[in-house]
Structure formats: structure tokens, C-alpha cells
Chain A
Amino acid sequence: MKTELEHNFVELLEKHQNIVHKVCRLYTNNYDAHNDLFQEITIQLWKAYPKFRGDSKFSTWMYRVGLNTAITLYRKSKRQISTQDYDGVEFKIKAEDYDDTEEQQLKVLYKAVHKLNDIEKALVFLYLEDKDYREISETLGISEVNARVKMNRIKTKLKAILNP
């Protein structure tokens, strides 16, 4: 029996699933790990959902739970077996936007981001999501100034990884 709460939650998650996929994309590097992390984030979201009061946006609430799961709660599970690396996968952007050079660049960029540590990835994620430094600092529990300083350091670090 599906309850109304379940129904509402699943509809919301289906609509906003891209947020969770994007978290998984940053923290994992193959399909199985991606699916496994997606599964765990879904469980954590569902467990926390009864307390979600709607005073913040569902998507904002998802960032927090998603990142917290990826950084802190997630333990690699035995469910992961095969490992096809994203690097071996042509992840295609829609035909009209398709640009081989851009795709290559993106691959290289993702590879570089994967070399960052968990906290740095969280900052990158929030930055890419266009969050301001106040929200970044609240999500991670650090001060705004330190979030800003760290973000600049990450940019420099990425440059160094990409242009050794």
C-alpha cells in the first residue's frame, strides 16, 4: 500500500532527481557506485521527509541531505560489483549541443574534479549550483569568509591539476 506521504515524496524526488544525480556524478566514478549512492541518498531523504516542513525549498533541502550522505553517512556497499568507469563511457549531450571538443573538455574537467577531496567537491557542487557563499557556509558549517577563501584555493588547485 502506497501512502499519500510516499506518493508525494516520490513525485517530488522524481521531479528533482537531477540534483541527486549530480551529487552522485561528483562523488562516484562508475555506474554501480552512482546507483548505490543514489539509493542511499533516497533512503536518507525518505527518512528525513516527515520532518520536512516546506519552509525551505525541497531542492535546497535535498542539497543538504544529498551532500551530507555523500560526505558523511555513505559507506560503500557490497551491492557494487562491476565497475565500468565513466571515462570509458561516451556520455552524450543532446544532439543539438553536441560538440566533440566541449565533451572532451568536460571529461577532462570531471576527471580533475574527481581528484579533489570530499569537502572540496561539496564546495564545487554548491558553486556549480549557483549557491551564494552564505548558503555554502550554512550547508557545510563553516564561515562565509572561509568558504570564499577555500573556493579560490580550489580554483587554483583545479588549474594546477589541469595544467601540470
Chain B
Amino acid sequence: MDELDLLKKSWNKPQQAHKTLSVNDIYPMLHKKSSSIVKTLFYISIAELVFWLLINAIPVFYSDEHKQKLEALYQNDTLLTVITFITYGIILVFIYLLYKSYQNISVTDSAKKLMENILKTRKIIKYYVLYNLIMAAVSLSIGFYYVLHNDVNLTDKIAHLSNSQLVGLYAGIVAVVIIFVCIIWLFYRLIYGLLLKRLNRNYNELKQLED
């Protein structure tokens, strides 16, 4: 008789390792909060959406001067208006994709399929973050460029810089942008790495079986 058959013999016998629950014990459990990975992922994705929307919107609410500048820009520049529409369009597409992928997650699927659907959802969030980071890097670069060329005080100062100093200044700006993007990216990797560590391990184990 092998080891598992020995375990099988007592498998269905009641054990004292747990207490047998009554109907009254079970009722309150139905309404407790779930701490499932999908729920956490859902909250994170909502937080991401709101966070990046706020980052884009805060300057508008924060300063009247900035608001006026933006309004002036929008009136003069149809390209900027088009870009803004596209940006919000892309966010809407992400929201739709996220909604669809959450709907696809079903606890009654096979273990492998369930894991795949969760990882697919995580991928959509990843692309959303990546998209925002690229946009942030581009905006920061344009912002720096705009300030350097339009701020009277600064342009005066820059005019006195030597070529090597100028290269240093631009290199510094590029470094700031890269560091900013990397820090945020590492932060996300850490959050998702911790959250999905076990899922990834189990998914790889299942995948290895099929290879």
C-alpha cells in the first residue's frame, strides 16, 4: 500500500483539526469582505486610473494662470485639442478592456484558465501604466524644452553657457526624466511582483507540465 492510499483510508473520517460549522456559523461568512487577489487587482487598477487622471487634471485646477494658458493654447491649437481627445479616448479603451477582462475571470474555470485570465488583466494594467509613463516622459521633456526656450530669465542664462555646459544641462534633464520614469516603474514592479508572486509560480508549474 503506498503512502497516499494510507491517507485515503482516513480521508473522509471527521477530524478534530477543524470545527464542524452550523448554518448559523455560515450565514455571517457570506457578507464578510473578500481578500482575494482579483479584488486587490481591481482596487489597484481603479487607483491607477484615478491616479493618472488626477495627475493630468491637477494642474488645471491648481493654478488659474496655467488654466488660462491652457485655454489659450487650446483655442489656438487644434492639434492639441485632437491630442487631448485621443488621450481620453485611449483611457476609455483601457477602461473597456479592463472591464471585459474582469468579466472573463471566473472562479469556476479550470485552474490554468483562471490564472491566464488574471494574468491577462494584469497585462492590461501594465500597458496602461506603461502608456502613462511614456506620456509622462514625453510631457516632461516637452515641458523642459518649452521652459528653456520661452522663459526669458532662463534663455538669458543659457545664452552664457558654454557648449559643454549646455550638453551637461541637457544630459541632466534627460537623467531626471529617466530616473522619474524608472522609480515609478520599479514601484509598480514591486507591487505586482509581491501580489502575483504565488500566482506566477503556480502558473509556471502548470505550464511546465504541458511543455
Instruction: Report the minimum CB–CB distance from A19 to chain B (whole Å).
Output: 10
Let me know if B64 is at the binding interface, CB within 8 A: no
Instruction: Report the minimum CB–CB distance from B41 to chain A (whole Å).
Output: 10
Instruction: Report the minimum CB–CB distance from A82 to chain B (whole Å).
Output: 15
* Main SS class of interface, A: helix
Let me know if A57 is at the binding interface, CB within 8 A: no
- Report the Cα distance A6→B30, complex, angstroms: 8
- Report the Cα distance A108→B29, complex, angstroms: 32
A67 contact set on B, CB distance < 8 A: 111
Let me know if B75 is at the binding interface, CB within 8 A: no
Q: Which of A24, A90, A109, A138 contacts B6 (CB 8 A)?
A: A109
Count contacts on A: residues with CB < 8 A to the other chain: 76
Chain B residues near A (Cβ < 8 Å): 2-4, 6-8, 10-18, 20-23, 26-27, 29-30, 32, 34-38, 40, 106-115, 118, 195, 198-199, 201-202, 205-206, 209-210
Chain A residues near B (Cβ < 8 Å): 2, 6, 9-11, 13-14, 17-18, 21-22, 24-25, 31, 34-35, 38-40, 42-44, 46-48, 51, 61, 64-65, 67-69, 71-75, 77, 79, 86, 89-94, 97, 102, 105-106, 109-110, 112-113, 117-119, 122, 124, 127-130, 138-143, 146, 149-150, 155, 158-159, 162
